[in-house]
Structure formats: structure tokens, C-alpha cells
Amino acid sequence: MRDFDTIIIGSGAGGLSAALCLARAGQRVAVIEQHYVPGGWCHSFYIDGHRFSPGVHYIGGLDKGESTSTLYEGLGIANDLVFFRMNKEAYEHCWIGDDKIDMPAGIQNLKNSLTRLFPKEEKGIKKYLELVKQVSTEIFLIPKMNGFWDNITIPWRTRHLGKYGLFSLKRVIGWHIKDPLLKKVLNIQCGDHGLPPSKASFPLHCALMDHYFNGGFYPMGGGAAIVKAMTNAIKKQGGEIKTGLAVKRILVEGENRTAGGSGRKAVGIEMQDGEVMMAKNIISNADPATTYTLVGHENLSSKLVKKLAATRYSVTSLMFFISVEMDVREAGLDSGNIWFMPNKDMDEIYADLTKVDILEKDEFESLFISCSSLKDPLSFNGKQHTLEVVTFIDYDSFKTIKAEGHEQNGEYLKMKARLSQKLLNTFKRILPAVHKHIVHLEMGTPITNEHYIKSTRGSVYGTEKGFWQTGPFSYTAKTEIENLFLCGSSIMSHGVAGASYSGVKTAAEILGCTEEDLLKKDEGQDIRIYDAEDSSQWPDWVHRRMADKKKRSESKINTPV
């Protein structure tokens, strides 16, 4: 039996940021991870020497003074991170039917670009993008309100959020934009929360769009680089990171009072191997369904049990990890993302994506395509590029496949083979040059997500981000069980930055301070950012490392077996 100040279950971005904040405050912390590597959705893995990062495809807000940059500087890990800025002229490529429209970085650049393509919508474009920016700014203003005058002026200072906060994305964009194609372009990032416009909360979508207004960035070293920076910092502060250990249950004491709250207190955890670890506080980076299963529903209030039963989880996905032996730029690829979808109503698109029968058609109608070896040039070995391709599906498509022992399940393997062929059929039509040069393809399914990430129903964004599960209606850092806290993409916001900020919020709850107290400005911290599309601006050490990697790759290829 070992004692800690705080034990964190799960090493996703939220769990690691919470652990780092608490360790820096002098607490003795331990992070427990069931996977053999830390990181949750931020982890990376290798296939045939190629690195893939299943949950990190781009990050926003990294320019100096923006939210993600401020986060990493405040956590004291900015100096350990290097990012590449994705194509400034088109960090998002919208392939909608026969139309190909690019989204450039910079809100004014976006206004100008879309106005040139849709001149009749000039006024609506300007008003809509300004509204998105205003609502997002007001969302982030609320947590910073403090004191009498702030509370008096908050209705005026958050008037746009108040006016539009109860409406769906579809309703609000429909008031400003009339052209159906333009609506699809402006809603293309619905894929970053997984909800169609009719179900998406307008404020949440505003925050997401604002996050990327100045473009997308990709970490040198993939998602694992962020994990490494955080775990190293935690260890330097005396914290412990334990991998390959599964938690069996959260230990609670006290009387269960179902009417007025649980009346319970978290005191530690028991591992699957029987080891017991005690702590003053327990933080769960797992989603609510998993967390409260570890607690035991018999220890919860009836109100919480009812909420858990009603909670909806976000979409799940198929992820394809591909290596191709060619110059992919000749096929028209660059460091920008490609959102490929048919030119039809986006609600209809999402309904088709999440049909139970995923084998009904021979091609995928919608895909997210990312070339990670162009986003992070140091990952390119000089010969083979890497692609990560994602599409949403319905979890129940795999309900007949048993997760236990699925690697040897013949039906499961047969389904994976058919879905891989479906992707190849799609590539043959939309990226024929790439299709001809694919040398390896692996696929992850909802069962893969459950196995490695332990996400409920294989969900990729935690709880579904509809109106009634975000903001004041979401799960909070503090739970009804004393000394048990939550963090992660289900309590605040999703994505790398959102989950990381949730960990800071949870640590602040435990320490009795504000998030700003834990993210104090440090002039000695600065993220290095290089342009992925302009190698002339890269420092010499980047070119040297790329040359060394190419030599190692060539040496490996030419070495006789």
C-alpha cells in the first residue's frame, strides 16, 4: 500500500496537465495508465518504422499570446515543443462534390477569400465571422470574471453569447448565409466535434472555429512529443507515471445518502493485480461512464445514476494508417487537411455516415485526409510518406463483433478487410496517383478505440457536444463524491487544448486557486514554430536531422538480409 496526495487515473492530455500542475505545487502525484504508453488520444505508435498519431491531427491557438501557446508556456513545457505551421494559404481543403475551396489562416484572409468566391454573400460573411469571434471571446471571458464590477457588467459584456447561446449552428448560420455551398464550407469543421449543424451548439462551434482562425499547427514528433514534454516535466517535479496498470475500482468510504448526495469519500484505488494505492484526492481522466463504473453505481446518488443513463457519447470512427512510396505533392497533397464529402445537406451527410450498415456501399462518401509526413517534415524518411484517414461510423456497426479476443475473430478480420477495400475504392477515384503507390495500410476500429483508449462506445470526443451536454450542463471537475474529481474532454471541451485546460481547471479546484494562478506568464518559455511549406526558413538543425534520417533509411534499405 502506497500513499499519494493525488492519484490520476488515465494519462490523456487532461490527466497529464493536472498532474503537472499539482506536482509543481509540491504534491506527490502518481499517474496510472492501462496502456503500455502514456498519452491517451495523444499517444503515437509505429508501423514499419513510420510514426502515427491517431488523436492529434492539428492544433490551433499557438501564435504568441493565444490560448494554447499561453497554456504550454504556463505549464513550463513550451521550450520543449516545436510545431510546424500548416499551409497558411489552405490549412483546410474543402472537397465538396466537384468544388474545391480552401480556407486560409487569418480571419481577414478567410473573409477576403470567401468573398471573392461568393460575392453576393459579402455582407453575410463579414457579419457571421465577426459574430463567431465575438461569441467565442465572450465564452472565454466568463471564467475570468471576478469581483463586483465584473459581475455587474457581465450581461453586457457577454450579450452576443446570451442572444445566440440557445440556438443550433444550423439556425444561426441560416440567418446570415444563404448559399448552400458556402454554408458547407463554413461548417466543414463540424468534423472536429462530430455533430451535424442541426445538433451542434452554436457557441461550441464558435469556440472551435476561433481556435483555428489563425491556422493549424502540427507538433514535431507527433502527439507523442506533447506527451513526452509533459511526462518529463512531471517526473522532474517528483511525480510518477505508471503504465500497463489497469485500475479495478476506486475505493470509497462513508454512508451512501441517495437523496441529498452520495455521502461518499474517495480514498484510493485498487489495481487489477490487487495492489492498493491510497491518496487524499483521486482524479479520473476516464470518461464519466468508465469513472463511475469504477466507483460503483451503488455508491452514487439516484440523480447522478439517472444522468449517467441519459448521457450520450460522441461519434466513433474508422482510422486508416497508410504509407505510400511517392512524392505526394505531385498528387496535389500538402500540409493542409482535406475534408472530402458530397455536395448535399450536411445533416443528411452525418445521418448517412452513422448508418449501422457500413458495408452497404463500395466507397466512403466522406473522409478526413491528413498527410502527417508533410505536416511534420522530420517524420519523412526520404522515401515513404504517411497518411492518416478518418471517417465517422455508427458504433453499432460492430456490435456483433466481440471485443474480447477480436484479433483472432474471423468475422472481425473479414470486416476490416472489406472496409480497407472500400477505402481503396474511394482513393482510386479521388486520389488515383496515391492509390497506385500505397505500400501498407492498417485500420483502427471502434473496438481498437475501446481497447487502447477505454473510450465508451469507441467515442473520439468524449461526451457528445450537443447543447444539453456542454457549458453549464456538462460534467464538472468536482463530483458528488468527496475528493473525487474529473478531467478530460467530457467536462469542459475536447481536443488536445480543451482536454489540457480541463486538467488545469481540476488542479485549481484541488489547490483552491484559479487557473490563472497555475499558468503564470513565464518570459523564459517560448514555442518554436516553423512553416511546413517553406523549408528556407527552417534552422540548420532541422535540415541536418532530416538528412540523417534519410541516410539511416537508405542504409536500412540497402543492407543485405
Domain ranges of the chain: 2-83+221-311+465-518, 110-215, 315-460+528-561
CA R_g for the chain: 23
**Cell numbers at 168, concatenated:** 443550433
- Percent of the chain at pLDDT exceeding 90: 80
pLDDT of residue 560: 46
Tell me how far apart the alpha carbons of residues 193 and 365 are, in angstroms, rounded to a whole number: 19
pLDDT at 550: 84
Q: Does residue 353 contact residue 335 with C-beta atoms inside 8 Å?
A: no
pLDDT on residue 259: 47
pTM: 0.93
Asked if 320 contacts 420 with a C-beta cutoff of 8 angstroms, the reply is yes
Nearest to 479 by CA among 2, 9, 3, 120: 9
CATH class of 2-83+221-311+465-518: alpha beta
Below-50 pLDDT ranges, the chain:
148-149, 259-260, 403-404, 560-561
Q: Are 397 and 357 in contact (CB under 8 A)?
A: yes
DSSP-derived 3-state class of residue 515: helix
pLDDT for 288 equals: 97
Q: What is the DSSP letter of 477?
A: S
